[in-house]
Structure 1
Amino acid sequence: MAGLLQALVGVSEKAADIARLCRREQPLFQLLVAEKTGPDRNRRFLQDFKTLADVLIQEVIKHDLGKEFPELQGHIHGEESNEFRSPEGEMVTVRVCATPGDTAALLLAVLAPEREAAELLADAVHRDVALADTALAGVELSIPLQDLAIWIDPIDSTNEYIRGSEDVGPVDGIAPAGLCSALVLIGAYNRHTGCPVLGVINEPFFRRDSETRRYGHHGQHRGSRDPTDTCTGGPHPRRWQGRYHWGVAYGDTRLSSLSPPGPSLVPRVVLSRAEAPAVQAALKRLCGGRLLFAAGAGYKLLCVILGLADIYVLSEGSTFAWDACAPHAILRALGGGIVALAGALQARRAGGTRTPPELVYNRPIDGADGAERWANCGGLVAYVDPQHLEAVLATLDTVPGL
């Protein structure tokens, strides 16, 4: 299991490299966007995109983990279909081939005529990642691999990845939007109980290198060009530095790369700006008149993990298993969790005194199609401090319609 944890971190680093490469190379950025349709479309957004970066990262993670841990083959799940439409309209099945040359040839079917871009991507796919993390190397765990399955969100907050500004400043330590909210999420769960046991969150765009950030600003929309931007081959490449976080919660074992955040007297709640007005109004009263806002479910969950917020509330079923599995494992490692909001309120109204039910990751929704099979129906509440969870549930219990 310790080897799996190190492998998850390693593939998250490779994924982050690919995400940065696709954002950096303007031909990739312009060509590799396809609109989701049908049951794979997230109904919350008018336009929901998948990128080749999404698909390729997912397939790289599946390939590398399945090769190293055969027990996991067939149990590594992701958000994206690996079908991608080429410029000529043909469907291409994206996968990792035996050699960089073969992978480049397959990617060229999508990228043609951008041969150099296909070769750059293929090299990144086949490059070995070396981790220099002594703390991670010293972790010893024993969890049967045959009990585990994996959820991957290759690039959470895809809209911000595609269109998000690189220069959004934080408000109370939290970026309200922008490229920094695009994350790689990899979570392992017990395939029998659905309980999350291991999570890795990678921030590919944590910060820009101090030597390059002063140069040209990447356009926020496809097709924009800046003569000093590396995406257009300019002389001053913009380099991004990433970072990762991990957590393990299995049996009595609680391990994490992070320490539990310190308590705060008044809970700080982070929300989507699209959250229901009644929910916002109730929580604003609880929080002393101030709410925090951010983009991306994974990023809002990360804000709770890092102690930038105490609670993340979402009253709708617009997140999915791949959004929550990795952060949930880290939150459990820190003493918290993610409860199903509707179930928690129902139990509370029935007079239940036990810990509210938490999300699980092995139960598709009967009768649903496509991505909706794995939606977190009824919303969620993420927390570290159980007292904050109780205060929020007591407040939301008064909101009509919840």
Structure 2
Amino acid sequence: MSEILHELLCASEKAACIARACRQEEALFQLLIEEKKEDERNKKFLTDFKTLADVLVQEVIKHDLGKKFPGLEKNVRGEESNEFTNEHEEKIIVEVCSTEEETASLLQKVLDNNKAAAKTLARAVHQEVTLKDLALDADNVSIPLDNIAVWVDPIDSTYQYIKGSEDIKPVKGIYPKGLQCVTVLIGVFLLDTGHPIMGVINQPFAVKDPVTLRWKSQLYWGVSYMGSNICSGNPDNKTRCVSQQSSTTGDNSYAAVTSSAETKDVLKALLVVCGENLHFAAGAGYKCLCVIQGLVDFYLFSEDTTFKWDSCAPHAILKSLGGGILNLSECIKSANKKPCNRPHILYNSEEEEAKGADRWANKGGLVAYRSEQHLEDFIDIFTKNLP
């Protein structure tokens, strides 16, 4: 387990390096944007983009995991297609080649013969990433490689990545938008049951060095498997990453984060429950991270525009904390029913009759949480205030 987790963390950091490399020059960055096809588009946005950075990151993660664990690359799933169309309408399959020179030559075709840009990206793709001082206390946990698969969101919150706001101030520790909302998400789940068991979240733009003006990553991880729950954040990694204390500020007041695209009815109910402790932020991965960090008690979203690649990694981390991610619609239906059966979101099956990205949508919305006890109370109050 430690070996797999270590590779996931290294892969996420290499992904972060690629994401940062793609933003170093504005002229280069403009070359990396391509509008998604209709069946790939996220319904939440009028215009949704994929970037070469997305594709590169996904292919690097697949390549590096397969190199360390042969065969695992076949079970790496993600949001992006690795087919990219350059300015000459030439379709190119983006992949990691055997050498840096070969990868640069391939990327040069994507980048309209921009040799310097291709070399820069190829160097980032083939660099060796080492992470020091990682206490990955998971040696006593063993999982069969033939029963796991990986969901990857190479750059979650692509719009914020493209827009690139760097001077956004946090509200009670939460960034409503900006580069801090960008995350790399890598989640491992069991093929037979669909349960998430391991997750890594990397914030490529977490901290900006005031001297060098370079961005640094922040890493979060968690493992929840066969009764073992281990996560980052503590020296011994054997206790919960965040405080057990709730973010509540009153008897019936919880802190929650959601999307500005949430429906009016849901927002009205959330305001009753949360009051001034209702926050808005970009990126499904980042909003889940706010729950993991203990900045809020819940992340709730009722629309069908989050996907398996958005939620798998944070779900595993939340499980290691004693929480999880559930189908919001099912939670509302089962409110006040005893016994209450609220199954976690699963990651091994697609939505029937759906097409494109919608096959892997979290239908019915989701609610991410840290505490089972607080969840019961929250759902009851929230449901009572829905029209």
| TM-score calculated relative to the size of structure 1 | 0.90
Task: Tell me the equivalent position of 1:260.
Answer: 242
Q: What secondary structure does 2:150 align onto? A: strand
Counterpart-to-counterpart distance in 1, 2:345 and 2:219 = 23
Task: Tell me the equivalent position of 2:110.
Answer: 110
Within 5 A, what are the aligned runs for 1:308-319? 308-319=295-306
Within 5 A, what are the aligned runs for 1:305-384? 305-348=292-335, 351-384=337-370
Paired residues, number: 375
Give the aligned CA root-mean-square deviation in angstroms.
1.5
Q: What secondary structure does 1:84 align onto? A: strand
Task: Tell me the equivalent position of 1:165.
Answer: 165
Counterpart-to-counterpart distance in 1, 2:14 and 2:116 = 19
Counterpart-to-counterpart distance in 1, 2:381 and 2:89 = 51
Answer whether contact 2:205 2:217 (CA < 8 A) is retained. Answer: yes
Does the C-alpha gap of structure 1 residues 277 and 102 become closer, same or farther in structure 2, counting only changes over 3 Å?
same
By how many angstroms is 1:164 displaced? 3.2
Q: What secondary structure does 1:353 align onto? A: coil
Q: What secondary structure does 1:136 align onto? A: coil
Answer whether contact 1:54 1:80 (CA < 8 A) is retained. Answer: yes
Does the C-alpha gap of structure 1 residues 378 and 134 become closer, same or farther in structure 2, counting only changes over 3 Å?
closer
Does the C-alpha gap of structure 1 residues 117 and 387 become closer, same or farther in structure 2, counting only changes over 3 Å?
same
Within 5 A, what are the aligned runs for 1:2-401? 2-136=2-136, 139-212=139-212, 238-258=213-233, 259-261=241-243, 262-265=245-248, 266-348=253-335, 351-398=337-384, 400=386
Q: What secondary structure does 1:287 align onto? A: helix
Q: What secondary structure does 1:392 align onto? A: helix
Answer whether contact 2:79 2:153 (CA < 8 A) is retained. Answer: yes
Does the C-alpha gap of structure 1 residues 357 and 138 become closer, same or farther in structure 2, counting only changes over 3 Å?
closer
Unaligned runs of 5+ residues in structure 2 are: 234-240
Unaligned runs of 5+ residues in structure 1 are: 213-237
| TM-score calculated relative to the size of structure 2 | 0.94
Counterpart amino acid of residue 228 in structure 2: T
Does the C-alpha gap of structure 1 residues 17 and 137 become closer, same or farther in structure 2, counting only changes over 3 Å?
farther
CA displacement, residues 267-323 of structure 1 (integer Å, 9 cap, x when unaligned): 101011111111111111112443111011000000000011110000111100000
Answer whether contact 1:82 1:95 (CA < 8 A) is retained. Answer: yes
Counterpart amino acid of residue 68 in structure 2: E
Counterpart-to-counterpart distance in 1, 2:378 and 2:169 = 28
By how many angstroms is 1:193 displaced? 0.5
Counterpart amino acid of residue 282 in structure 2: A
Counterpart-to-counterpart distance in 1, 2:319 and 2:264 = 30
Tell me which moved more, 190-199 or 71-80. 71-80
Answer whether contact 1:55 1:81 (CA < 8 A) is retained. Answer: yes
Counterpart-to-counterpart distance in 2, 1:163 and 1:134 = 33
By how many angstroms is 1:165 displaced? 0.6
By how many angstroms is 1:378 displaced? 0.5
Counterpart amino acid of residue 217 in structure 2: G
Answer whether contact 1:107 1:118 (CA < 8 A) is retained. Answer: yes
Tell me which moved more, 203-212 or 98-107. 203-212
Q: What secondary structure does 1:211 align onto? A: coil
Counterpart amino acid of residue 231 in structure 2: S
Answer whether contact 2:44 2:261 (CA < 8 A) is retained. Answer: no
